[in-house]
Amino acid sequence: MATLNFNAHEVEPVMALEAVPAGKYIAVIVDSEMKQTKSGNGNYLELTFEITEGEYKGRKVWARLNIDNPSADAVKIARGELSAICRAVNVMTPNDSVDLHNLPLEINVKCKKRDNTDEISNEIKGYAAKPAPATSSEPRQQSAPWKRG
């Protein structure tokens, strides 16, 4: 038993969140942690990305990079993804995963059906530098002070 002293009338309930639609989003890494694999024979770097712009601002998406794994292919893929992240945020030699935090980048999010539950979940399938703000391709016309309009 636990004493709560809680009033649900004072707090909005949490709604179930669906996966964000597939697409490209501007995000930042807000958390990172090295975790042991379920099998116990390796470690993965779990990165928490928070979308910072648009309709899904504030939503989170996760990536797991198998940095230490018996599978050489899994390690190769993880190292390639980490390289893409480093290049996207322009931190080429991070000493710690925190060096990658709070730097904007573009993530390419895909939707995937989970085998065990048939629920749709998100998975990040690409990383890129945050696009530069769009500028008008039309040259600005300046009025000549000696001409009358």
The answer to whether the beta carbons of residues 46 and 124 sit under 8 Å apart is no
CB within 8 Å of 5: residues ≥ 6 apart: none
What CATH code is carried by the domain that includes residue 76?
2.40.50
Q: How many domains does the chain have?
A: 1
Domain presence at residue 32: yes
| pLDDT the model gives residue 142 | 52
Distance between CA 8 and CA 89 in Å, rounded?
A: 42
Q: Where would I find the H helices in the chain? A: 72-89
pLDDT in tens, the chain (149 residues): 788 889 999 998 887 778 999 999 999 999 999 999 998 999 999 999 999 999 999 999 999 999 999 999 999 999 999 999 999 999 999 999 999 999 999 999 999 998 888 889 999 999 999 998 877 665 555 545 554 54
The answer to whether the beta carbons of residues 44 and 35 sit under 8 Å apart is yes
Domain that holds residue 51: 18-129
Domain presence at residue 143: no
Domain presence at residue 42: yes
